[in-house]
Structures are given as C-alpha cells and as structure tokens.
C-alpha cells in the first residue's frame, strides 16, 4: 500500500485567524447564511438521517489513516448521508410502484436494497475519495491506495469498479457534492468573533470546536433527540414533531453557534455570556436556542467521557440555560 506522509494537519497547525479582510469575512458569512436558509427549507419532506455512529467513526478513522483534514471527513459524511437518502428514496419509490401495480413477482426494490448493502463499503470509500478531491490542501487519494485498503478488508474490486462507484455517487447527487459542512460555519463565526473582541482566543476555541464537532457527528441522534425533547418540553415527541424537527438538523448555523458556545464554556466559563451575546448579535439566533443547544452538547460531552478532560457542568450553567429558556417562553 502506498502510504501518504503522516499528517500535517492544516486545521490545527497551519490554520490562522485574523488574516482575512473583514469585507471577505462579511461576504462569506452572508453566503453561508443564504446557503443555510436554503438547506433548512429543502429539508422539509426528507426521509431523515442515516448517520449511524459506527459509520461516522469508520469515516473518521479512515480519513485519519489517509492523513486527511477534518473538513474532508465531515464532507465525506455529508456526501454519504445524502447518497444514502437518495438510495432509500429510490427503494421506497420502487416498493410503492410494486404495491400499487400488485406485481407480486417483481423484486426490483429488494434487489436494489441488496445491491446497496453489498456495495456499501465501496460506496463509503468512494465518498471519502470524492471528498478528498474537493480539498485544495490534501493530495488526492489514489485508486491504488483505495483498492489496497478494500482488499485488506476482504473486498476485491477493479479500478473500473472503483470509477463506476464514484460515478454512481456523483449521478445520484446530480454531481452536487461540494456540500457545506458545519466546520465552515464554525470557522467563519470564529473569525467574526475575533474581530468583535471575543475574550477567548479563536485558536483555543477552534481546537475545542473540532473535538465537540466530532462528538456531535458521532452522537448525532442522541444530541438532537434531547434537543427536540427540550424544545417541546415533552419526553415522548410525536412522529409529526420528529418530522418537523428534521429541518433543525440541517441548520448548520445553529449547530455552529452551539458548538462555539459549548467550547467557550469549556475554555473559560466566565466568558460564556460574552461569547453567547456576540453569537446572538452576529446570527440573530435567540439566546434561548443557543443555550439549549450548547447545554445539550455539554451534557453529552460529559457522558462521553472525552479522554483528557473530566470537566463537569457546574450547576450555574444549567441554571442560566434553563432560566434563559424559561424567560423566552413566557
């Protein structure tokens, strides 16, 4: 197997804040806000999430083995999830046609499902490879590297099959794979916070944000389920409430402010109010929403027992968050 050089992570080593012109940052933030609004609107009617923790962990570990940046691993997960949604929609459509036409002998949708299962690992690796091709700071993962990796797992494929797999993903997504990730929102907001005089250094926040963003990807469903229960003040949400909440899962701006607010608390909880205030004025997101999301992330970060950090959540954070939420509902 041809081995790439061991990581020179631009996300942590070469990344710098405060070197981009304010006009450029303003344009980038506006563009992201517009993208986010569109994504939230389009989320209505989607089947839901296919973000299993084991699959996300597989993508993260594979990206680390291939020395890819964090942004690539996040984008690979987003590409894979959207591809799986498209495939699930296709299977459901075929099954609906079968039932409508009463074609008992036809097994088209079952065949599609089995084909998806059989080629899932190949499709996953193709999503990582495609994501690497979108990054300017990573060398593209070669087909030889991919084939050797798959062979080590017991999957024998040819270069032609690898290219066909990439093309299948591209066609399913109409070649729209340059998808935004929450990291872009986090880093842009950190730039703005730096210019606004945030008391916690952006680089310190950035490192913690990456850790918490990993956590949100790995514990995606539990975190959003707790957020849903908190927002409706009910421990058993209805199916309709869950379906309406899908748009919240696509709100990367909300996720970014929650990540930054939680990171600010971990770095310096005395500055938490100032950071949250800045985030509210920048994005227009209600303080109650920021408090709820950051609290959900912090709660799960403690439950995850992150190595190297045994930070518990002091009662005053919970009290402040709950007080903010309560005041917003009166």
The answer to whether 304 touches 215, Cβ cutoff 8 Å, is yes
Give the pLDDT confidence of 149-178 residue by residue, as tens digits.
999 999 999 999 999 999 999 999 999 999
pLDDT bracket for residue 15 (50, 70, 90): low
pLDDT bracket for residue 231 (50, 70, 90): confident
* pLDDT over 80 at 31, yes or no: yes
The answer to whether 302 touches 309, Cβ cutoff 8 Å, is no
Nearest to 273 by CA among 209, 210, 198, 211: 198
pLDDT higher at 196 or 103:
196
One DSSP character per residue, 169-190 reads HHHHTTT------HHHHHHHHH
Give the pLDDT confidence of 275-306 residue by residue, as tens digits.
999 999 999 999 989 988 998 898 887 655 44
Q: CA 171, 176, 181, 184: dihedral to nearest 10 degrees? A: 150
The answer to whether 270 touches 322, Cβ cutoff 8 Å, is no
**pLDDT of the residue at 104:** 55
Region 28-46: what's the mean pLDDT?
86
- List the domain boundaries for the chain: 46-173, 182-302
* pLDDT over 60 at 329, yes or no: no
pTM to 2 decimals? 0.82
Total length of the chain: 330
Query: 3-state DSSP: the chain helix, strand, coil percent, rounded to 5?
Result: 70, 0, 30
* pLDDT over 80 at 46, yes or no: no
Homologous superfamily assigned to 46-173: Cyclin-like (1.10.472.10)
Can you tell me the distance from the alpha carbon of 172 to that of 160, in angstroms, rounded to the nearest whole number? Answer: 18
Question: What is the C-alpha radius of gyration for the chain, rounded to an integer number of angstroms?
Answer: 21
Can you tell me the distance from the alpha carbon of 50 to that of 78, in angstroms, rounded to the nearest whole number? Answer: 10
**pLDDT of the residue at 310:** 37
Structure token pair of residue 235: 């421990």
Can you tell me the distance from the alpha carbon of 69 to that of 86, in angstroms, rounded to the nearest whole number? Answer: 26
């Amino acid at each position: 197997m041809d081995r790439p050089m061991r990581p020179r992570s631009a996300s942590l080593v070469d990344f710098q804040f405060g070197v981009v012109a304010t006009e450029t940052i303003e344009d980038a933030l506006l563009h992201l806000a517009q993208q986010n609004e569109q994504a939230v609107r389009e989320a209505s009617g989607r089947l839901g999430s296919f973000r299993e923790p084991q699959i996300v962990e597989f993508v993260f570990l594979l990206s680390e083995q291939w020395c890819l940046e964090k942004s690539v691993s996040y984008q690979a997960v987003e590409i894979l999830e959207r591809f799986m949604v498209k495939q699930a929609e296709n299977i459901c459509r075929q099954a609906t046609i079968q039932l409508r036409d009463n074609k008992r002998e036809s097994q088209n949708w079952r065949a599609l499902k089995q084909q998806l299962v059989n080629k899932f690992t190949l499709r996953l690796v193709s999503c990582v490879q495609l994501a690497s091709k979108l990054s300017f700071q990573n060398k593209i993962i070669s087909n030889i590297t991919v084939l050797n990796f798959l062979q080590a797992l017991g999957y024998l494929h040819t270069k032609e099959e690898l290219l066909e797999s990439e093309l299948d993903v591209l066609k399913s997504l109409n070649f729209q794979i340059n998808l935004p990730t929450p990291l872009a929102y986090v880093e842009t907001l950190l730039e703005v916070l730096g210019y606004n005089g945030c008391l916690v250094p952006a680089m310190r926040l950035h490192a913690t944000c990456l850790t918490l963003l990993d956590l949100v990807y790995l514990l995606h469903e539990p975190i959003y389920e707790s957020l849903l229960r908190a927002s409706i003040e009910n421990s058993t949400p209805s199916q309709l409430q869950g379906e309406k909440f899908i748009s919240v899962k696509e709100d990367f701006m909300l996720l970014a402010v929650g990540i930054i607010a939680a990171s600010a608390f971990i770095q310096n909880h005395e500055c938490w109010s100032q950071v949250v205030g800045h985030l509210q004025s920048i994005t227009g997101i209600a303080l109650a929403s920021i408090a709820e999301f950051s609290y959900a992330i912090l709660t799960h970060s403690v439950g995850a027992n992150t190595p190297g950090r045994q930070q518990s959540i002091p009662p005053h954070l919970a009290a402040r968050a709950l007080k903010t939420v309560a005041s917003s509902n009166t």
